[in-house]
């Protein structure tokens, strides 16, 4: 469900983007003076960023340092401009289930694009959180986390933002044990940073909709509909404790399964008791709708969030 102030954010974001397009650089107000950063201790690694712990105004914060690989000097400006577009998308977002953006840090790691600064989520990722508490976390509580993720994604879609890499590792859990959608848009930023326009360069095949790598289609751009497909795969991941199609290796082999309209089986409690949950009829029906082969057959995320919590 989208935030009430969502329609008012679009003109503000557009105005700031237009202003920054003239200077082709970050607004100075986005840069923070951090209290400290432990640059020698990496606390996490995502699909597109290395995570470091720091302090800002007495609060623990996380620094996301984008992974770049020896860019040429003439690519540095392009890298900054690509990151700029996503930062300007994030800075105005405000939703209970979307990770807040604090600002940028460009002093801690020379030779890299500015680090993205966010609150530190000590409960980690959704998949790790559910695995660690699988013996005590009721199915209804897991469904609530998926519902919160769906609401956060619906909000992004109202803002015309495509996440592009939705999976359990990109949903964080805050101190109140609620979902915080993170790393939206970073797949696209990293494509540009690495100097490629390939949609399969970043992200994982196992969560990607078939249209993103169908050779018969010219456009392989990530869309809201491909986010909906990824949400279905996220549900499978959280309920089974494994990535989609865990028995199929390597990752690229999943492409052929998906293009042939094959999907992971319904989670049941017949697997290892410490991991697999039995998925309810209504959630399974939602998953099947979300990973429909044709993008136009998939529901939008507002509809999905309404379906998940239906008894």
The CATH number of the domain holding residue 212 is: 1.10.510.10
Number of domains in the chain: 2
Mean pLDDT of 96-100: 95
Instruction: Let me know whether 110 and 135 are in one domain.
Output: no
Q: Which neighbouring-strand residues pair with 186?
A: none
The answer, as to whether pTM is greater than 0.75, is yes
Q: Would you tell me the crossing angle of helices 73-90 and 6-23 to the nearest 10 degrees? A: 160
Q: What is the pLDDT at residue 203?
A: 45
> Residue 41 belongs to a domain with what CATH number?
3.30.200.20
Q: What is the pLDDT at residue 260?
A: 93
Q: Residue 15 falls within a domain, yes or no?
A: yes
Instruction: Let me know whether 115 and 141 are in one domain.
Output: no
Residue 94 annotated as binding site? no
Of 119, 137, 172, the residue that ends a domain is 119
Rounded distance, CA 107 to CA 290, Å?
A: 43
Query: For residue 137, what are the domain limits?
Result: 126-308
Instruction: Let me know whether 46 and 143 are in one domain.
Output: no
pLDDT at residue 196 is higher than 80:
no
163 SS3 class: coil
Q: What is the pLDDT at residue 204?
A: 80
Q: Which neighbouring-strand residues pair with 116?
A: 64, 104
Q: Chain-wide mean pLDDT for the chain?
A: 83
Instruction: Let me know whether 77 and 149 are in one domain.
Output: no
Tell me whether strands 49-56 and 36-45 are parallel, antiparallel or unpaired.
antiparallel
- Reported confidence tier of residue 195, pLDDT bands at 50, 70, 90: very low
């Amino acid at each position: 469900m989208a935030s009430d102030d969502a329609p008012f954010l679009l003109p503000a974001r557009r105005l700031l983007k237009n202003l920054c397009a003239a200077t082709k650089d970050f607004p100075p107000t986005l840069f923070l003076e951090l209290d400290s950063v432990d640059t020698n201790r990496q606390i996490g690694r995502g699909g597109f960023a290395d995570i470091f712990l720091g302090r800002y105004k007495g609060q623990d914060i996380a620094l996301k340092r984008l992974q770049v690989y020896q860019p040429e000097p003439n690519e540095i400006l392009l890298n900054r401009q690509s990151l700029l577009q996503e930062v300007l998308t994030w800075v105005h977002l405000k939703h209970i289930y979307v990770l807040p953006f604090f600002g940028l840090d460009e002093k801690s790691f020379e030779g890299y694009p500015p680090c993205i600064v966010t609150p530190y989520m000590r409960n980690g990722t959704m998949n790790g959180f559910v695995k660690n508490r699988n013996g005590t976390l009721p199915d209804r509580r897991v469904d609530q986390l998926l519902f919160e993720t769906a609401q956060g994604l619906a909000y992004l879609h109202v803002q015309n933002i495509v996440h592009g890499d939705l999976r359990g590792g990109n949903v964080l859990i805050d101190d109140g044990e609620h979902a915080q959608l993170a790393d939206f848009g970073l797949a696209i930023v990293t494509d540009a940073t690495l100097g490629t326009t390939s949609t399969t360069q970043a992200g994982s095949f196992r969560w990607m909709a078939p249209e993103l790598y169908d050779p018969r289609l010219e456009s392989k751009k990530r869309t809201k509909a491909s986010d909906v497909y990824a949400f279905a795969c996220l549900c499978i991941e959280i309920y089974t404790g494994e990535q989609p199609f865990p028995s199929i290796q390597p990752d690229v082999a999943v492409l052929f399964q998906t293009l042939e309209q094959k999907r992971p089986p319904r989670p049941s409690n017949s697997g290892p008791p410490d991991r697999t949950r039995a998925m309810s009829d209504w959630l399974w029906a939602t998953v099947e709708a979300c990973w429909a082969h044709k993008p136009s057959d998939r529901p939008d995320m507002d509809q999905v969030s309404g379906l998940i919590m239906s008894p």
